[in-house]
Amino acid sequence: MISAIHIEDIVRAALKEDLGHGHDITTECVVPMDKDARAVVNARVDGRLAGIIAGLAAFTITDPDCEIELIKTDGEDVKPGEDIAIVTGSARAILTAERTALNFMTHLSGIATLTRAYVRAIEDTGAKIVDTRKTIPGLRALEKQAVRLGGGMNHRFGLDDAILIKDNHIALAGGIYPALQMAKENAGHMVKIEIEVDTLDQLEEVLQTGGADIIMLDNFSIDNMKKAVKLIDGRAIIEASGGVNLNTVKSIAETGVHIISVGALTHSAPALDIGLDISVED
């Protein structure tokens, strides 16, 4: 899980972005300074929760004296109408933090919910759903955590995690053989090497060269994926990428690949509808 310090840094940056020059002019002009309020965060649709802790941090950062009652939390499923949390404190602070809090909750819960759908679609196939680096700048750690909360797994967090040789690397290195040879010579013994292939011919060259721990089949047809699995025959972990959606993922998983990477988990997940209703405290 992400440390509280890391989460607080991300949430503070989001609050600063929303506060502009440092204040909520509407709330300051309309809501009395001494007014308290009670806010109920609830789900409007079915989904898997993520970003709840980050979202609630927006309230505690804005008003350190506010009280939080956590009813549901990250990783739990919700149904329409179920309460997630209750926030009690300064009405001004609650209104100021509301949009930032809901932005985290709706976006990250959307990722967890979409991931849950992909994971359920390939149950009992043995394949795993993983994310990619197609994340919103500054939110990668939270988005990748949301994928895990949805039942998926994480690909690389950054460029320094592992070697992933793609088509542009191959072109600049002068081909598959020199790319793999240089990777093997220059990588440390703890570093995994993955290479992307677009065709069965490229795959055969990779297998002849050797040295790849993971082979990514990029935009392969189902028939060619099956052929690739037979050719690799356990010599490397097989990742399928490209053309993956909820209609195709089960067929891809049934070819025998080990990993299915889905960029849509983070770059195209629809926000989960979560709302906040305020009542005035006497």
Clarify whether residues 129 and 257 are in a common domain: yes
Matching residue, tokens 């970003």: 51
List 166, 192, 226, 250, catalytic entry: 166
Predicted model pTM: 0.95
Give yes or no: 99 in active site: yes
276 DSSP β-pair partners: 41
Clarify whether residues 175 and 221 are in a common domain: yes
Torsion on CA atoms 100, 105, 107, 113, rounded to nearest 10: 180
Clarify whether residues 238 and 153 are in a common domain: yes
Clarify whether residues 11 and 84 are in a common domain: yes
Clarify whether residues 131 and 241 are in a common domain: yes
Count of domains for the chain: 2
Asked whether the beta carbons of 213 and 236 are under 8 A apart, the reply is yes
Give yes or no: 48 in active site: no
Give yes or no: 28 in active site: no
Clarify whether residues 261 and 275 are in a common domain: no
Clarify whether residues 101 and 133 are in a common domain: no
Clarify whether residues 173 and 145 are in a common domain: yes
Confidence (pLDDT) at 282: 62
The burial class, CB within 10 Å (0-12 / 13-18 / 19+), for 141 is middle
- CATH of residue 156's domain is 3.20.20.70
Q: List the strands of the sheet with 214-218, edge to edge.
A: 128-130, 259-261, 237-241, 214-218, 193-197, 163-165
- CATH of residue 109's domain is 3.90.1170.20
Q: Which residues contact 29 (CB under 8 A, 6 or more apart)?
A: none
List 72, 99, 156, 227, catalytic entry: 99
Confidence (pLDDT) at 267: 96
Clarify whether residues 105 and 141 are in a common domain: no
List 63, 143, 196, 239, catalytic entry: 196
Q: pLDDT by residue (tens digit) across 142-189?
A: 999 999 999 999 999 999 999 999 999 999 999 999 999 999 999 988
Clarify whether residues 104 and 10 are in a common domain: yes
Tell me the residue range of the domain where 95 lies.
4-118+269-280
Residue 22 has pLDDT above 90, yes or no: no
Q: pLDDT by residue (tens digit) across 44-73?
A: 999 999 999 999 999 999 999 999 999 999
Give yes or no: 230 in active site: no
Clarify whether residues 9 and 112 are in a common domain: yes
List 134, 184, 192, 250, catalytic entry: 134
Q: pLDDT by residue (tens digit) across 242-265?
A: 999 999 999 999 999 999 999 999
Give yes or no: 223 in active site: no
151 SS3 class:
coil
Clarify whether residues 126 and 97 are in a common domain: no
